[in-house]
Amino acid sequence: QQLCFSLFIVFLVVCWSVPLKSIEVELEVKDHVATVVSTLNYQNQEDKPLEAVFVFPLPGDAAVCHFSAKIGQTQIVAEVKEKQQAREDYDDALSSGQQAFLLEESEQSPDIFTLSVGSLPPGESASIRLEYITELAVQADDGLRFSLPAVLNPRYEPQAATVQVTSVPASQIPYSLSFSARVSSPRPVSKVESNCSLDPLQYLNKEQTQATVKLAGGHKFDRDVELLIYYKDAHQPTAVVEAGQASAKPGSLMGDPVVMLSLYPEFPESVMSSLSSCGEFVFLMDRSGSMSCSTSHSKPKETRIGSARDTLLLLLKSLPMGCYFNVYSFGSSYQHIFPKSVEYSDQTLEEAVKKVEEMTANLGGTEILQPLKHIYNQPCIPKQPRQLFVFTDGEVSNTKEVINLVKKNSGSHRCFSFGIGEGASSALINGLAKKGRGHAQFITGADRMQTKVMQSLRFALQPAVVDISIKWDLPKQVSATVLSPPITTLFQGQRSLVYAQLTGKSSEGAQGSVTVNYKLAGQPSKTQLHFSLKPAEDTGLTVHRLGARVLIRSLEMEEREDRGEKGEAVKEKVVELSVKSGVSSSFTAFIAVNKSDGKPIEGPLIHRNVPTPSKCFLNQLIQSSDCITHSFIYNNKNKDKSSYQDPDQQDPFLQLVSLQKASGCWLLDPALAAALGKTSEELDQSKPASVGCLWATILALIWLHASKTDSKGEWELLSLKAVSWLRAQNAPCVECVDAANTLLGCKVQRDVLGL
């Protein structure tokens, strides 16, 4: 009955005259910083005045810095106020017949915003302009990722309720999207890729440092729009100094210059070539009902749980001998394979793989807090650093509470997080990694999850960087106040950003430098960057607002940790900083009121919720009802679909991976023959007489190097384990490699294998 009622409500939503008619998005990317301007066009086609409410996603680390409305020829620029005051001003305006517009950030999750468009008269149109700034994250293949969120899935609350998000199937979204992007960088733009169809990239100069691109015609706003931007020589440290605001007081954040440093530490090859062989690896898998949704628009038959399960198999097989591990899964409740982390061996690996292969999306809601608490309550194993891997589609509402828990335990572990599918909360995924001293990845579109996850495993196996500190070398009259939280993590080839306020006057042509000191594998190391103190041109207040956003987020976290008098003082500081910088926070809101001399709008307001597109609509309806119904339907509907796969259709690569032993070797059996596309007789007949137990392992290695060259990042750790095992056998491999090449029709050399 609850499900039928939800369907009826959705039917009503679709049949309403939705006042939002179109969204126009202009993206400007300068190096790794994106400025996004969205224009939302509304029209009231009903015979009564209405209030439209739109709950929508934004990147969790975005700095929302402008909000305005245009009604006819009247332009109203919003101001930032304390949230309760802004709400009261909005209500007062509506009650007096004025038009008002309110934009506020969710108090629970910084990637959800609510836009209220009030008192739009019959036949009236309004254009809402929203601007935000965000940094672009570096991906495993060195691309910079920009995502324009379209999908906002309901966020599950542990109190058996859901955040009220009006969603409909993507095909029924009644408004259109136009999207264009301009990219510029000191380095040439190599290419721009997307999960959506794009018109050809247009270069604006012969150096190819500027380019434009836009969505191809006929695009449906049925998925997140993701761009991957590639520059030549992307890993170059940079510094941008931005002049302060002329009208702001010197000595204040907005009045002084602010510098943004992008640092790319490079570690010695001698250190990076030796990966750790110890650690406690804890894997936390989301098994809520929404994980049975498709991973992407381009692969409707590939489920999130299926892709995550395959990836977890690859991770388990890639772990080093000598480590410890455990696997947790969660939904409305949580489970673990072992009572506590166990030593990695053929027996424990086989038991874990069997349990993982049986995992389905049948555990109800998305309550991640309790399994995290249980993991943190387990005592750490001496000399086995804890590494936590979290796989989730991120549909939780208590984001800040979860991140705060991870931060409190950041001294005992590193957290690597993976957002699966469209609609994953960027605030949750990025927050887990940042506060857990790890790394975040998003798997959407046509991504292979394995590539990104294996990069994170490599990070986890890198020697930990400790004792990180920053030293500034500036002219005597200039001082730096760092706005960013302390750097707690450095990974090879990954960017670290530092924002700092520069107080004092510098002479023409003055120079400064910053040095990041740290210890790697017990040895002191450093990364240094020299930069000019001369402000860059045409940056507006981008760097200041990003710096303010970083400081606001740090203070908000501090306020959550102390709800007493100190917390109130921090909250007041956040409100003051938000108002002066014009950057949104969880304690403030943008409010715009049309105070022109027009006639008051009369008549009762009609309330209209503007829907967002849904990628997994059935699941959202089920989550709106109770967890028992949710779990029952998914247990029965998806049990076979998500767990069974015809062996004849299984990916040969994953088939081969599943056969590798914990030590790194393969056994000569019919399953291996099938994975290699041969018969057992062919393998036996081609085996050199003196080879012994090496034959199966060398066959597997030859096949990987010859057949999976483009995905080496996925199987490289498996290969290293196999080569290590082969070397330990102290047996000649020349004849074996030659015979394997002949059988498989390959030409892989021994030095390529590492033998």
Per-residue H/E/C for 521-543: CCEEEEEEEEEECCCCCCCCCHH
Q: Could you tell me which of 423, 403, 427 has the C-alpha nearest to residue 415?
A: 403
Q: How many domains does the chain have?
A: 4
Confirm if 263 and 256 have CB atoms less than 8 A apart.
no
Phi, psi of 166, rounded to the nearest 5 degrees:
-85, 115
Q: How far apart are CA 612 and CA 218, in angstroms?
A: 19
DSSP code, position 710? G
Q: Tell me whether residue 620 is in a domain.
A: yes
We report the CATH number of the domain holding residue 569 as 2.60.40
Query: Do both 369 and 483 map to the same domain?
Result: no
Q: Which residues contact 270 (CB under 8 A, 6 or more apart)?
A: none
Exposure string of 612-627, with b = 16+ CB inside 10 Å and e = fewer, is bbbbbbbbbbbbbbeb
Q: Per the domain annotation, does 664 fall within a domain?
A: yes
Do 233 and 351 have their domain in common?
no
How is residue 247 annotated by DSSP? T
Please check whether residues 453 and 543 belong to one and the same domain: no
- Asked whether residue 718 is assigned to any structural domain, the reply reads yes
Please report whether residue 588 resides in a domain: yes
CA-closest candidate to residue 520, choices 265, 235, 716: 265
Residue 233 lies in a domain: yes
Q: Of the candidates 141, 212, 220, which has an alpha carbon nearest to the alpha carbon of residue 178?
A: 220
Distance CA 256, CA 653 (A): 56
Q: Up-side HSE of residue 126: CA atoms within 13 Å toward CB?
A: 27
Q: Is the pTM higher than 0.85? A: no
Instruction: Tell whether 416 and 319 lie within a shared domain.
Output: yes
pLDDT for 597 equals 66
Residues ≥6 apart with Cβ < 8 Å to 448: 711, 714
From 438, 460, 482, give the residue that closes a domain: 460
Asked if residue 424 and residue 517 are part of one domain, the reply reads no
Q: Would you call 119 helix, strand, or coil by DSSP?
A: strand
Beta strands per DSSP E along 121-163: 125-135, 137-138, 144-148, 156-157, 161-162
Task: Let me know whether 564 and 544 are in one domain.
Answer: yes
Q: Find all residues with CB under 8 Å of 541, minimum gap 6, and list them.
A: 65, 242, 245, 254
Which ranges of the chain have pLDDT less than 50? 1-16, 160-163, 617-648
632 domain residue, yes or no: no
Asked whether residue 553 falls in the same domain as residue 487, the answer is yes
> Which residue matches tokens 């001293």?
437
Nearest to 198 by CA among 41, 27, 62: 27
Measured in degrees and rounded to the nearest 5, phi and psi for residue 421 equal: 85, 165
**Per-residue tokens: 475:** 């002219």
pLDDT confidence of residue 9? 41
DSSP strand pairing (413-420 vs 440-443): parallel
Residues 491, 573: one domain?
A: yes
Last residue of a domain, one of 527, 554, 581: 581
Cα(56)–Cα(62) distance, integer angstroms: 13
pLDDT per position as a tens digit, 682-696: 998 898 877 767 899
CATH number at residue 378: 3.40.50.410
Q: Same structural domain for residues 588 and 571?
A: no
For 669, the domain range is 647-753
CA 621 to chain centre: 25
592 and 741 in a single domain? The answer is: no
- Say yes or no: 71 and 177 in one domain: yes
Tell whether 640 is covered by a domain. Answer: no
Let me know whether 220 and 86 are in one domain: yes
* Residue 732 covered by a domain: yes
In total, the chain counts a number of residues equal to 755
Q: Which of 460, 481, 504 is the last residue of a domain?
A: 460
Q: Model confidence over 3-38: pLDDT tens digits?
A: 443 443 443 444 446 788 989 999 999 999 999 999
Q: What is the 3-state secondary structure (H, E, C) of 28-60?
A: EEECCEEEEEEEEEEECCCCCCEEEEEEEECCC
